[in-house]
Chain A
Amino acid sequence: MRELFERLGRMAVTAVTVTGNMFLILAQAVYFIFIPPYKLRNIVKQMEFVGVKSLFVVILTGSFTGMVLAMQSFNALKRFGAESLVGPTVALSMARELGPVLTALMVTGRAGSAMATELGTMRVTEQIDALYTMAINPVKYLITPRIVAGLSMLPILTVITDFVGVIGGYFVGVTLLNINPGVYIGRTVDFVNVDDIMYGVTKSFFFGLIITLVASYQGFYTTGGAEGVGRAATNAVVVGCVLILVSDYILTSIMF
């Protein structure tokens, strides 16, 4: 019994420590966004890594999701004679939910794990210590650019996912399911407005922060050599994905 309480106590201490450290690192990273000299080169490099290099996977995911969504919604809506609503169903699902969430999950898998691995390797090979001894703040140099990249790139990627999803849905709906193109576009325009897109974009802003913060934290505090680096990469993906899904529910509840 005592062992159980000791274990629970240790888990509680770890949870508090991790949360505290994560908020500390976030506070420092945000503080350094406004303190010159600005590491523009690093920021652009990270924006390219998070944004441009995730483009292919995001386009692929978005377009196939839109195509599947069109087929599934056609199947359901046909039963009510409402096939003309396939367009808005795809567009609203993509803009409000699937676009931001799928983009975030894809970026977590691709960029989050790579970030944690890179920072973890830098930690275990003393490169982060070397930065510190050169009087360069590692949070400013390594983490602030990653968080700025996450905050700025996820909304852009989300809009791209939404767009290719709608195009995918249109392709399936019009060419394969024989929905009239005018009806498809007209209904979509009638039912979907800018607020729906902004709703998803707002979510993606938070997801961008979660992905980069979790990955940076896991990498930055890596211990235990090569095994520790592997653990950091795994944790960055698992914790990142779980937090994205939980925060998605919370954000949806707030903005519903």
Chain B
Amino acid sequence: MIEIIDLKKSFNVKVVLDGVDLAIEDGKTTVIIGRSGVGKSVLIKHIVGLLKPDSGKILVDGKDITKMGEREFTEVLKRFGMLFQGAALFDSMTVAGNVGFPLKEHTDLADKDIRGIVTEKLRRVGLVGVEDMMPADLSGGMKKRVGLARAIVMDPEIVLFDEPTTGLDPIMSDSIANLMSETQKALKTTYIAITHDIALTYKIADMVAMIYEGKIIEHGAVEEMKKNANPVLRQFLAGSAQGPIKVY
């Protein structure tokens, strides 16, 4: 279980996270929603240690990762996988090189065995025969799929998704949503996604949290959230310019 307690982060004078409290349940998909620039990416980057908080705690199975030394945190990171917004595939490697990279770095598996696992993970995300292609030759949707295959190749306990459908057409977005849903159910992994895509949220979320003005203002099961009367949440879910959320 991941618990975020009173997490604060500012960049110069701009307060981005102003005391975030959130508990993420194991084996479920939690979707963190909020407007662009509200601090969703900042929050997710704290969970994987890419940013250090000004104050607050992030507990993974009760241990505060913000206080860990590099070696201890490296072991924690091996339990994570992450799909970046632009997939962040290594340009210099083939698809197979990208997906098999964590296995090559962290295991003693033979190249042949790694290739087998890579092919299986690629098949799981709906890609066949792309092993020797370069990332530059892939479409946006294919890159995301390869990124997902790489994120799950080590069978992590927790997978984080940074805007998984941004930049994709609605059909490809739905396809990625289906894929996330299927892989989560099959692997029983904890999925944490940040997005402003409401269709994706409804499709994959078990739990939804909304971040607004540096805080989690609502958190609950997706069905509860649909009925929630909070005007900020209602406006966001409705995708309306009219309401308490200021449009700049």
Contact = CB atoms under 8 A, between A and B. Distances in A.
Given A126-B84, A126-B85, A133 B91 contact: no
Contacts of A135: 74-75, 77-78, 102, 105-106
Contacts of B86: 125-126
A134 interface: yes
A121 interface: yes
Interface string A106-141: 000000000000000110011101101111110000
Interface residues of A, number: 13
B80 interface: yes
B212 to A, nearest CB: 25
Contact of A121 (B45, B50, B85, B91): B91
Contacts of A125: 86, 88, 91
Given A121-B91, A134-B101, A134-B105, A129 B84 contact: yes
B91 A127 contact: yes
A129 B48 CA distance: 10
Contact of B88 (A126, A136, A137): A126
A127 B88 contact: yes
B152 interface: no
A132 B49 contact: yes
Interface in B89-122: 89-91, 101-102, 105-106
B82 interface: yes
A134 B85 contact: no
28 contacts: A121-B91, A122-B90, A122-B91, A125-B88, A125-B91, A126-B84, A126-B85, A126-B88, A129-B88, A130-B84, A130-B90, A132-B48, A132-B50, A132-B77, A133-B48, A133-B50, A133-B81, A133-B82, A133-B160, A134-B101, A134-B105, A134-B106, A135-B74, A135-B75, A135-B102, A135-B105, A136-B105, A137-B70
B140 to A, nearest CB: 13
Interface string A25-48: 000000000000000000000000
A130 B77 contact: no
A129 B42 CA distance: 13
Contacts of A133: 48, 50, 77, 80-82, 160
Interface string B60-85: 00000000001000110110111011
Nearest to B106: A135
A42 B82 CA distance: 24
Given A122-B90, A126-B86, A130-B84, 10 more contacts: A126-B84, A129-B45, A132-B49, A133-B80, A133-B160, A134-B106, A135-B75, A135-B78, A136-B102, A137-B74
B242 to A, nearest CB: 33
B60 to A, nearest CB: 14
A44 to B, nearest CB: 14
Nearest to B160: A133
Contact of B50 (A122, A127, A129, A134): A129
